[in-house]
Amino acid sequence: MNLLKKINVVGAILIENGKILCAQRGEGKSLAYLWEFPGGKIETGETPQEALIRELQEELMIDVEVQSEKFEETSYQYDFGLVTLTTFICFLKRGTPQLTEHIAVEWLAPKELTTLEWAPADIPAVEKLMEMETIR
């Protein structure tokens, strides 16, 4: 029996001026060219919020404030494993997103999010965001 690995990841719904940061995965990665909320794996001993702060410093070279309550949690079965994605609303404290892992970033209003092709695990959070009138 093939037991797929379980991967716990966090994603940032980073909000600035009513827009949300969307990041496009690079080629050669799993889910290449799909869009996601930036973030990454939770390391042993980290809280989800600590993991998100670390990942955003590493991937985008920014400092963020993470809200304590999770926004959405989704599990999705990919061919490489079962991914559980927990997203949190975040606010930029310092820096401008730099592309180190991603090939593109876009700041979009919630109603514009469906113009991108999202990674499947991110879609429930995208749909929840689109139902919101305003975001801040």
Domain boundaries, the chain: 6-20+30-130
Query: Which pLDDT value is given to residue 28?
Result: 87
Query: Which pLDDT value is given to residue 54?
Result: 97
Burial of 13 (0-12, 13-18, 19+ CB in 10 A): buried
CB 37 within 8 A of CB 71: no
How many other CB atoms are there within 10 angstroms of residue 115's CB atom?
A: 10
Query: Which pLDDT value is given to residue 132?
Result: 82
pTM of the model: 0.92
The domain covering 6-20+30-130 belongs, at the CATH homologous superfamily level, to Nucleoside Triphosphate Pyrophosphohydrolase (3.90.79.10)
Query: Which pLDDT value is given to residue 90?
Result: 97
CB 100 within 8 A of CB 106: no
Mean pLDDT of 87-97: 96
Residue spans of alpha helices (H) in 1-133: 48-60, 123-130
Query: Which pLDDT value is given to residue 80?
Result: 86
Dist. CA 11–CA 38, nearest whole Å: 5
Q: How confident is the model at residue 103 (pLDDT cuts 50, 70, 90)?
A: very high
Mean pLDDT of 37-61: 96
Flag whether pLDDT at 134 surpasses 80.
Answer: no
